[in-house]
Structure 1
């Protein structure tokens, strides 16, 4: 009896999960560029296959935002996470655990950015 190997394809959900897992490994290793490349691939494929508002697509957006934040791209990360939270509120509801978690993260990131900006501004004023 011959065993058939299934070819899942580049846009199969299991393939995308594997790519996202690889991206997560790269992110944990501090390999931001590789992580970003794979997270973008997963996000864009999910947008095409599932739609921009699908929960799996939104999860991909969150992963990319966390990668950008880890890589020091705070403004980009905040913008992407803000977009994601707005969509999660519309799709999942404001009391959904993912929405609540990402809303809290967004608040922390925004607060950190404001704190850094305030400190930088006060240093500039004192020096000048």
Structure 2
């Protein structure tokens, strides 16, 4: 079942240990800017959110978002997904102003990409 099965069973510690191991291996082999590394980091951030480990989740969310901005550009769908993930982390922490600001930026960028008549 891998990490997904552990997450679905609420076994956050086991999922975290596996995700850290995978992330460290991918990071060593593929480096920080590789899409698989960033996905692995985002998965670990999700696990931290599920454990209410907000600081660690936020640090990873910011790192993934900033790296994707630098490598892929601010308007890339993966970068926008990272902004959205960070907004969720802010929401879970009760930092609604930061969450709203992040979501507004994300919405504006999606409108620029998809056009004014699009639904976001």
Q: TM-score of the superposition, structure 2-length normalised? A: 0.73
Q: In structure 1, which of residues 3, 26, 29 is the aligned counterpart of residue 9 of structure 2? A: 29
Larger radius of gyration: 1
Residue 82 (structure 1) aligns with: 62
Question: Offset of 1:69 from its aligned partner?
Answer: 0.2
Residue 39 (structure 1) aligns with: 19
Residue 94 (structure 1) aligns with: 74
CA shift digits 1:48-94 (9 cap, x unpaired): 11111111000000000000000111111011111111001111221
Q: Which moved more, 1:102-111 or 1:46-55?
A: 102-111
Runs of 4+ in 1 over 3 A off after TM superposition: none
Q: Which moved more, 1:23-32 or 1:55-64?
A: 23-32
Residues of 1 paired with 2:34 and 2:61: CA distance?
Answer: 15
| Matched residue SS, 1:94 | coil
Residues of 2 paired with 1:37 and 1:77: CA distance?
Answer: 15
Question: Offset of 1:115 from its aligned partner?
Answer: 4.1
Residues of 2 paired with 1:112 and 1:23: CA distance?
Answer: 23
Residues of 2 paired with 1:61 and 1:33: CA distance?
Answer: 16
Q: Which runs of 5+ in 2 are unaligned?
A: 97-120
Would the alpha carbon gap of residues 103 and 115 (structure 1) be closer, same or farther in structure 2, given more than 3 Å must change? Answer: closer
Residues of 2 paired with 1:89 and 1:40: CA distance?
Answer: 23
| Matched residue SS, 1:34 | helix
Q: Which runs of 5+ in 1 are unaligned?
A: 1-20, 117-128
